[in-house]
Chain A
């Protein structure tokens, strides 16, 4: 279980998180929604220890993120970044097998390559992609390689940061289905950030709506449409009128 208690984070004069409280049950898929600049990505980075909160505690299975031993802690996570964040200088298979080629999870090179090709196949990419460089791939293929890298070491927890941003609706559908399938078959805990309501309905077990630095509403995705929460209603229906100012 991931448990966030009273998380605050300020950048200069910008008070991004103002007391976030959230629980993500083990094996569930939580989707975080909210407007741009509301601190959703910062929240993910706080859990990973990439950003340190000014106040509050984050516990992962009873372990405090700030005091946990970094390597074993991070070995439990996989993350798909918004722009895939593939390493330009490495071929695709070495990107996917990055964790398997060094550190505590190191495997022989041939075995790491086989695993990488298997993971690429899992996300619908052919083995001939393995030796290409990221710059030779389309945006959708890069996202899929990023997804393959996120699941390469069979993590217990997977984060997806805007997995369908910049993709056409068909490719978005493919990525959403892949995420759902992978999370279900691996039994992993998933946390996704997205603005895409189609993705929300495809991926989420539960959702949390963040606005003005706090969680405005959280609950099962099935209750989302009848929540009665004005923030959530405005967001899911994409209305300009409502409690969320259109110009921020």
Chain B
């Protein structure tokens, strides 16, 4: 019994220590935002890698999600004779929830893994030590540009994903469910409010910060060898995904709880 309690205590202490380490790492990253030197070239590179190159995967995901959502809402709404809600529910569902969450998850899969693998490999091949000996702070050179780029790029990806998702719903609604095109667009535009869109973009920024921070943190703390880098990559994606869901719930409570 005592052994069981001891191992439980060790696990809890380990989890708390990890949470503390991640929070400190995030705070340290933010503090570097206000202290030079800055590396604009690294930031632009990260912006292209994280933002521009994630567009296809986020766009495709949003398109098919919007289409499937239209089908589901039509099928569900027809039970109550409320098929006309399809455009408005697709729009609000995409903009408030599915756009940011699915966009965040796709970026987590694509970006957190690649950041963790890249930085983890740099760690095990002593490139991080080399950076330090060359008078370059790895937090400033590697972490801050990626975290800043993700925090700014993911809201833009979410906005694009929202539009493509709504378009996916429109394509299915008009071509498959026989909605009138003009009515579909009017219902979408009339129903959406500015706060719906802004809340989704704020969520996107939070998810971008989480994704890049987890990628960098796990990469920097990668174990030795291929197995260590593999474990860091897996941990980055899993922790970023779980934190995205947790942050999504907290932000939804903050924004929309009555």
Residues of A near any B CB (own CB < 8 A): 45, 48, 50, 70-71, 74-75, 77-79, 81-83, 85-88, 98-99, 102-105, 149
Complex CA–CA separation, A192 to B130 (angstroms):
16
Instruction: Enumerate B128-161 residues with CB–CB distance to A below 8 Å.
Output: 129-136
Max chain A C-beta neighbours (<10 A), residue from B37, B129, B131, B136: B129
CA distance A48 to B133 in the complex (A): 7
Q: Which residues of B contact A (CB under 8 A)?
A: 37, 39, 122, 125-127, 129-136
The residue in A82, A102, A104 that gathers the most chain B C-beta atoms within 10 A of its C-beta is A102
Would you mind naming 14 contact pairs between A and B with Cβ atoms under 8 Å apart?
A: A48-B132, A48-B133, A71-B135, A78-B133, A81-B130, A85-B126, A85-B130, A86-B130, A87-B127, A102-B37, A102-B39, A103-B136, A104-B135, A105-B135
Closest to B45 in A: A89
Q: Is the CB of B132 within 8 A of A103?
A: no
A103 touches B135 (CB 8 A): yes
Would B129 and A85 count as touching, CB distance under 8 A?
yes
B125 contacts across to A, CB distance below 8 A? 83, 85
A70 touches B127 (CB 8 A): no
Chain A nearest CB from B114 CB (Å) reads 12
Q: Which 4 A-B pairs have the closest CB atoms?
A: A85-B130, A85-B126, A74-B135, A81-B126
CA–CA, A70 and B131, complex, Å: 13
B126 pairs with A82, CB closer than 8 A: yes
B134 touches A98 (CB 8 A): yes
| Whole-angstrom CA separation of A70 from B130 in the bound complex | 14
- Using known A-B contacts A102-B37, A103-B37, determine if residue A50 contacts B134 with beta carbons closer than 8 Å: no
The residues of B that contact A75 with a CB separation of less than 8 Å are 135
Q: Which residue of B lies closest to A51 (CB)?
A: B129
Q: When the two chains form their complex, are residues B135 and A50 in contact, meaning their CB atoms are under 8 A apart? A: no
**In the complex, chain A residues whose CB is within 8 Å of the CB of B132:** 48, 50, 74
**Alpha-carbon distance between A105 and B135 when the two chains are bound, in angstroms:** 10
From A45, A88, A99, A104, contact of B129 by CB (8 A): A45
State the majority secondary structure of interface residues on A.
mixed
Q: Considering only CB atoms, which chain B residue lies closest to A155 in the complex? A: B133
Q: B117 → chain A, closest Cβ, in Å? A: 12
Using A85-B125, A102-B37, A103-B37 as known contacts, say yes or no to A79 and B136 having CB atoms under 8 A apart.
no
CA distance A77 to B135 in the complex (A): 10
Who on chain B is nearest to A146 by CB? B130
Q: How far is the CA of A190 from the CA of B129 in the complex (A)?
A: 19
B130 and A99 within 8 A (CB): no
CB-CB < 8 A to A99: which residues of B?
A: 134-135
Shortest CB distance A193–B (Å): 13
Chain B residues lying within 8 Å of A82, measured Cβ to Cβ, are 126
A74 and B126 CA atoms in complex are apart in Å by 16
Contact residues in B for A88 (Cβ distance below 8 Å)? 127
**Residues of A close to B126: CB separation below 8 A:** 81-83, 85
When distances are taken between beta carbons in the complex, the residues of chain B under 8 Å from A98 are: 134, 136
Known: A74-B134, A103-B135; 5 extra A-B contacts, CB below 8 A, are A48-B133, A83-B126, A85-B130, A86-B127, A99-B135
Q: A83-B125, A85-B125 are in contact. Are A102 and B130 (CB under 8 A)?
A: no
User: B107 → chain A, closest Cβ, in Å?
Assistant: 20
Closest to B121 in A: A88
Q: How far is the CA of A77 from the CA of B131 in the complex (A)?
A: 12
Give, as a whole number of angstroms, the nearest-CB distance from B241 to chain A: 27
Q: What are the residues of chain B within 8 A of A104 when measuring CB–CB?
A: 135
Least CB distance from A137 to B in Å reads: 14
Shortest Cβ gap from B122 to chain A (Å): 8
Chain B contacts of A48 at CB under 8 A? Answer: 132-133
CA distance A98 to B127 in the complex (A): 12
Kindly state the separation between the CA atoms of A86 and B122 in the bound complex, as whole angstroms: 9
Knowing A102-B37, A103-B37, the reply to whether A85 touches B127 (Cβ < 8 A) is yes
**Complex formed: what's the CA distance from A88 to B134 in Å?**
16
Most buried by A among B126, B130, B136: B130
A100→B133 CA distance, assembly (Å): 13
- Provide the bound-state CA to CA distance between A50 and B126, in Å: 11
Distance in Å: Cβ of B221 to nearest Cβ of chain A: 15
- What is the CA–CA distance of A87 and B136 in the complex, to the nearest angstrom? 13
Residues in chain A near residue B129, CB distance under 8 A: 45, 50, 81, 85
Q: Are B127 and A50 in contact (CB under 8 A)?
A: no
